[in-house]
């Protein structure tokens, strides 16, 4: 499968890593939308938030544990935002589940 985030997870494409374990990888976004902007992905290929099931949702819980840990380590005490874009209307451009974590600036709500 030709999936850029699977290749990043496998180390075939380099990334600026924030955190890694056997289940997940967190790395800085190439096109940051905030002073801190990283992505957290499952190493297992899940194409998007519409493909989360009872069988694979454990890694999603783990991703949120990693987000709490990494944002604390980065000192994002003012808060942060977690976003997953899904499908065309959601603005998803990479078909491998990923959670954007944005911080260190005040973020508007609702998003555009
Ligand atoms: P989305 O549009 O929600 O699917 O988000 C995809 C994100 O992946 C975008 O914010 C891109 O800037 C980011 N991105 C694409 N390729 C890479 C890469 N090789 N390394 C880091 N971030 C990437
Ligand atoms: Zn993939």
What's the burial of 103, exposed, middle or buried (CB within 10 Å: 0-12/13-18/19+)?
buried
100 in active site = no
Phi-psi region of 11 (alpha: psi -120 to 50; beta: other; left: phi over 0): left
Q: Which of 25, 31, 50 to mutate to test the pocket of ligand 1 (most atoms within 8 A of CB)?
A: 31
| pTM reported for the whole predicted model | 0.97
- Which pLDDT does position 20 carry in this prediction? 98
CA–CA gap between residue 46 and residue 38 (Å, rounded)? 18
Q: Is the CB of 12 under 6 A from ligand 1?
A: no
CA–CA gap between residue 70 and residue 47 (Å, rounded)? 24
Q: Is the CB of 20 under 6 A from ligand 1?
A: no
Residue 1 pLDDT level (bands cut at 50, 70, 90):
confident
Taking only the tens place, the pLDDT of each residue in 10-47 is: 999 999 999 999 999 999 999 999 999 999 999 999 99
Q: Is the CB of 82 under 6 A from ligand 1?
A: no
The arithmetic mean of pLDDT across residues 84-106, rounded, is 97
Residue 111 pLDDT level (bands cut at 50, 70, 90):
confident
The one catalytic residue in 37, 45, 96, 98 is 98
Q: What value does the mean pLDDT of the chain take? A: 97
């Amino acid at each position: 499968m030709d999936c850029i985030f699977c290749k990043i997870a496998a180390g075939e494409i380099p990334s600026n890593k924030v955190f890694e374990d056997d289940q997940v990888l967190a790395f800085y976004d190439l096109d940051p939308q905030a002073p801190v902007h990283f992505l957290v992905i499952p190493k297992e290929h899940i194409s998007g938030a519409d493909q989360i099931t009872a069988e694979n949702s454990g890694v999603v819980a783990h991703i949120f544990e990693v987000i709490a840990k990494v944002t604390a380590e980065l000192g994002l005490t003012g808060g942060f935002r977690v976003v997953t874009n899904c499908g065309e209307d959601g603005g998803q451009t990479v078909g491998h589940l990923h959670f954007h974590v944005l911080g260190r600036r005040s973020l508007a709500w609702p998003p555009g």
